[in-house]
């Protein structure tokens, strides 16, 4: 089955410079959620209008694009893409601003459509407040009457048209041009496609969030909040402890293992996996990362990183892209890592920058260590082999390699490779000038003035 996604509207009520469907929900343009679901059924096309170039930029090249220059109604939108429709295939119609329609519901719609051999199968819902929606009128035949065309009797009907349908390609191609715009809005209504057949089925969905369209930023925030609540509740049922689910923000694709505890003000985003028995947060943000079991991440930022079992991170650490921490690694406060691999049991506990570094096992990185990986033009690598001890406040000027078991003295600026089992000292030797202070007339702090 092919899918056509209608998305030509600007979405005036967003009050934005950008077309509505590229506004993000859960960190992704809303239309991409729809496309992702639609792709499970086959080929996908979208109808774009307002500022279509901006939407085009966000789409992958396998999505067909049709442009509807003027938005004259939903039937007109389908007409602009009619060459996409195959006579011998069904067409699923979705909206670019209804992001969370589920695969399961669409599968159910498809099943009913095929089994009933209908020309049109409509997804409907029962709403306490149906105003604004087209109503499903069940007389001798099913009709849809738009809110603006409805009389008081029809307005009382609570069953609404979600705007999602499956239509037989042949039926659509043969009848779409018969639709006129003689109605309250002067628009070509796709709902009028029902006029030319008796073979109409309906499927009711009870999941209102999945058919909720977004018209303004208030609806956007509310929908996101309702879905977040469901995500958190599902995770809690699966055995994750969330201390206060009102202040924990977890994206739909995230997976978290049993007995992990999530503390407040924590964001877990994108394609992130977290294992069992972890303690995450408070005030932590993890994005597109893979976290093992029994990991502690406290008040830290983690992005595009891999953290293995029994690692501890933070407080106030920042793991950036390309960081891999092997088991039992410890990263402490004010440590930043980028494109850095740390072997088992290695530690960087305080005030450190590790960039483009390959660090072995059992390495101790002293407080204030900096890998000087950038010479103003290019990035260079640092290699620190197993069991190395980097003294506090060392600068490792890359490219450089510190051999196995070696030690760098505190305060060293290491510019040359250090062989195995060596001590590298790269700093001025200390001179003590005895009684210098007294000769200079004392030190007022020491209260030893002559
Ligand atoms: C439509 C349905 C209504 C249903 C409601 C569900 C019609 C006539 N009415 O109403 O029965 O209850 O959806 O939300 O179909 N679009 C275009 N080109 C156009 C017009 C619309 O691409 O010329 C797109 C919009 O960008 C939007 C979608 O189609 O994504 C729906 O358009 P909208 O104007 O919101 O439809 P409604 O009039 O609300
Ligand atoms: Ca609408």
Segment 338-373, tens digit of pLDDT: 999 999 999 999 999 999 999 999 999 999 999 999
Report the residue among 95, 99, 194 best suited for mutation to probe ligand 1: largest number of ligand atoms under 8 A from its CB: 95
The reply to whether 9 sits in an annotated binding site is: yes
Q: Residue 442: what pLDDT?
A: 80
* Residues noted as catalytic: 350
CA of 26 to the centre of ligand 2 (A): 21
Give residue 125's domain range: 2-211
**Which ligand 1 atom minimizes the distance to the CA of 48?**
22
The bound ligand whose nearest atom lies closest to the alpha carbon of 6 is 1
For residue 150, CA distances in Å to 34, 143, 191, 382, 413 come to: 30, 12, 14, 72, 80
Residues 56 and 178 in one domain: yes
List, as one string, the DSSP characters of 375-442.
-SS-B--EEE-TT-EEPTT-EEESSEEE-TT-EE-TT-EE-S-B-TT-EE--SPPP---TTHHHHTT-
CA of 229 to the centre of ligand 1 (A): 28
**Residue 313 resides in a domain:** yes
Residues 191 and 327 in one domain: no
**Residue 199 resides in a domain:** yes
**Which ligand 1 atom minimizes the distance to the CA of 96?**
30
pTM value > 0.75: yes
**Residue 226 resides in a domain:** no
**Residue 225 resides in a domain:** no
CA of 162 to the centre of ligand 2 (A): 9
Q: Which of 211, 232, 264 is the last residue of a domain?
A: 211
Task: Residue 416: give its domain's CATH number.
Answer: 2.160.10.10
| pLDDT tens digits, one per residue of 289-298 | 999 999 999 9
Residues of the chain scoring pLDDT < 50: none
Q: Residue 383: what pLDDT?
A: 98
Task: Residue 18: give its domain's CATH number.
Answer: 3.90.550.10
Q: Residue 235: what pLDDT?
A: 98
The reply to whether 353 sits in an annotated binding site is: yes
Residues 167 and 36 in one domain: yes
Sorted by sequence, the CB contacts under 8 Å of residue 59 that are 6+ apart come out as 31, 32, 35, 46, 65
- Report the alpha-carbon distance of residue 382 to residue 359 in Å, rounded: 8
**Residue 216 resides in a domain:** no
Count of structural domains, the chain: 2
Q: Which of 211, 232, 247 is the last residue of a domain?
A: 211
Q: Which of 164, 189, 211 is the last residue of a domain?
A: 211
Q: Residue 44: what pLDDT?
A: 98
213 lines ligand 1 (CB under 6 A): yes
**Residue 289 resides in a domain:** no
**Residue 442 resides in a domain:** no
- Taking the CA atoms of residue 244, residue 231, residue 275 and residue 305 in that order, the dihedral angle to the nearest 10 degrees is -100
Residues 94 and 204 in one domain: yes
**Residue 83 resides in a domain:** yes
Q: Which residues pair with 46 in a beta bridge?
A: 5, 65
Residues 108 and 207 in one domain: yes
């Amino acid at each position: 089955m092919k899918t056509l996604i209608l998305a030509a509207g600007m979405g005036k009520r967003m009050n934005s410079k950008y077309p509505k469907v590229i506004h993000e929900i859960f960190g992704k343009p809303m239309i991409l959620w729809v496309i992702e679901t639609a792709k499970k059924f086959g080929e996908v096309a979208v109808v774009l209008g307002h500022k279509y170039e901006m939407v085009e930029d966000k789409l992958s090249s396998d999505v067909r694009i049709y442009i509807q220059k003027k938005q004259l109604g939903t039937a007109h939108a389908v007409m602009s893409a009619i060459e996409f429709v195959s006579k011998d295939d069904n067409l699923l119609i979705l909206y670019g601003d209804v992001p969370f329609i589920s695969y399961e519901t669409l599968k159910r719609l498809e099943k009913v459509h095929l089994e009933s051999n209908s020309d049109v199968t409509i997804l409907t819902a029962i709403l306490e407040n149906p105003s604004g929606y087209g109503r499903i009128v069940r007389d001798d035949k099913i009709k849809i009457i738009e809110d603006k065309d409805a009389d008081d009797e029809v307005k009382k009907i609570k069953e609404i048209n979600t705007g999602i349908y499956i239509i037989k390609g042949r039926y659509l191609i043969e009848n779409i041009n018969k639709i006129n715009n003689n109605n309250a809005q002067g628009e070509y209504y796709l709902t009028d496609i029902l006029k030319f057949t008796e073979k109409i089925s309906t499927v009711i969905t009870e999941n209102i969030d999945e058919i909720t369209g977004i018209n303004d930023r208030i609806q956007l925030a509310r929908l996101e909040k309702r879905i977040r609540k469901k995500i958190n509740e599902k995770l809690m049922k699966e055995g994750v402890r969330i201390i206060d689910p009102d202040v924990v923000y977890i994206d739909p694709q995230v997976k978290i293992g049993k007995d992990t505890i999530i503390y407040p003000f924590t964001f877990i985003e994108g394609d992130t996996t977290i294992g069992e028995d972890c303690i995450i947060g408070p005030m932590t943000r993890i994005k597109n990362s893979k976290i093992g079991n029994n990991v502690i991440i406290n008040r830290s930022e983690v992005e595009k990183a891999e953290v293995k079992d029994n690692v501890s991170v933070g407080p106030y650490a920042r793991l950036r892209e390309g960081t891999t921490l092997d088991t039992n690694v410890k990263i402490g406060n004010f440590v930043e890592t980028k494109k850095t691999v740390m072997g088992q049991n290695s530690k960087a506990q305080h005030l450190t920058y590790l960039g483009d570094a390959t660090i072995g096992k059992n390495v101790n990185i002293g407080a204030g260590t900096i890998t000087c990986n950038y010479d103003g033009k290019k990035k260079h690598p640092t290699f620190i082999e197993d069991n190395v001890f980097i003294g506090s406040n060392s600068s490792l000027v890359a490219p450089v390699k510190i051999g196995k078991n070696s030690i760098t003295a505190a305060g060293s600026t290491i510019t040359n490779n250090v062989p195995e089992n060596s001590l590298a000292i790269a700093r001025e030797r200390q001179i003590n000038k005895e009684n210098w202070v007294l000769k200079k007339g004392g030190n007022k702090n020491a209260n030893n003035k002559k």
